[in-house]
Amino acid sequence: MKIFKDKISLQKEILNKPISFIPTMGGLHKGHISLIKRSKKFKKKTLVSIFVNPRQFNKKSDYRSYPRNKLKDVSILKNLNVNYLYIPSIKDIYGFKPKHKIYLDKFSKKLCGKFRKGHFEGVINVMNRLIQIIKPKTIFMGKKDYQQLFLIKKFISRHKINSKIIECNTVRQANGVAFSSRNSLLKPNDIKIASRIYYFINKIKKKFDVYNFNFLKTEMIKLGASKVDYIENYNIKKNFIKSKKYNKNCKIFIAYYIKNVRLIDNI
């Protein structure tokens, strides 16, 4: 595996090579590993980036506490025979003017967009720059961050960028909890709370229209959540139209806290 810390050296290496790209902020887990394994099935070189993007954090404390374990991450990637690893500095990412302007679909104002001011602007900004540097043919992204995935696809479509997003299913622990870098900040009892919440939402989803937000919020807090930002149902087949009833075309989106750790999921 070749490791690059500056875009010039990376671009010289990958020039004219078909690249499959997995963008990460490190703290690698089985969800990331599944993306990499799927990428390796394509006849392209696999490139992983590790960059904790400061512009998508709306709290400095959240940015500082975000899980980082570079040595472990590098070891995982070497064992997976990843071709390239890009670990840029903030200056390397933000030290140039990108070709495309940031485009945010109106859906960016809903769900996490309501509660994390500037978050999606930061996400699209860094993806815009990474795509321009790497020019990947395919980008592998998980469905756990479904709103983020949707907005990046809209940005790529808007600017007619020649990169295809490959959507990959959420990978879960045996207890139903979606793998996430932030899980490393949780204690064993916190993981049990997250598991109870997952099974609760799974249980009530087909009768979602019977309940209101206050009831669902109260039940989640009884299960151990410290705070609930949202529980909302959207038809993902109809360009994210909010729906009262749950069906096979819908997903229930949730965001909540266990102590000071914010978790998101869609079920």
pLDDT tens, residue by residue, 213-244 = 999 999 999 999 999 999 999 999 877 899 99
Residue carrying the six token digits 């902020």: 25
118 and 18 in a common domain: yes
* Cβ atoms of residues 86 and 70 within 8 Å: no
70 and 97 in a common domain: yes
34 and 80 in a common domain: yes
Asked, for residue 6, whether it belongs to a domain, the answer is yes
Does the reported pTM lie above 0.85?
Answer: yes
CA distance 21 to 6: 16
pLDDT tens, residue by residue, 55-79 = 999 889 999 999 999 999 999 999 9
252 and 121 in a common domain: no
Q: End of a domain among 142, 168, 194?
A: 168
CATH of residue 11's domain is 3.40.50.620
189 and 159 in a common domain: no
- Which residue type occupies 123? V
Half-sphere exposure (Cβ direction) of 156: Cα atoms closer than 13 Å = 23
Widest Cα–Cα separation across the chain: 58
Tokens of 125: 């900004």
Asked, for residue 174, whether it belongs to a domain, the answer is no
Closest CA to 2 of 92, 81, 72, 90: 81
110 and 192 in a common domain: no
6 and 111 in a common domain: yes
pLDDT of residue 238: 79
224 and 151 in a common domain: no
Asked, for residue 175, whether it belongs to a domain, the answer is no
- In terms of residue numbers, what domain contains 104? 2-168
- Which residue type occupies 255? A
202 and 140 in a common domain: no
Q: End of a domain among 168, 189, 222?
A: 168
CATH of residue 246's domain is 3.30.1300.10
Beta bridge partners of 142: 168
- Which residue type occupies 18? P
76 and 164 in a common domain: yes
Which residues participate in catalysis according to the annotation? 32
Beta bridge partners of 253: 232, 266
Instruction: Give DSSP secondary structure letters for 98-149.
Output: -SSPP---GGGGSTHHHHSTTHHHHHHHHHHHHHHHH--SEEEEESTTHHHH
Closest CA to 233 of 143, 119, 141, 111: 111
**Domain count for the chain:** 2
Q: Tell whether the torsion through CA atoms of 31, 155, 254 and 206 is positive or negative.
A: negative
pLDDT of residue 127: 98
Beta-carbon contacts of 117 under 8 Å, excluding residues fewer than 6 positions away, are 58
| pLDDT, mean of each 10-residue run, the chain (267 residues) | 98 97 98 97 95 95 94 98 98 97 96 96 98 98 97 98 98 98 97 98 96 97 98 90 94 97 97
In three-state secondary structure terms, 86 is strand
CA distance 191 to 8: 42
pLDDT of residue 2: 98
Asked, for residue 25, whether it belongs to a domain, the answer is yes
120 and 44 in a common domain: yes
CA distance 153 to 239: 12
15 and 44 in a common domain: yes
* Cβ atoms of residues 139 and 164 within 8 Å: yes
pLDDT of residue 239: 78
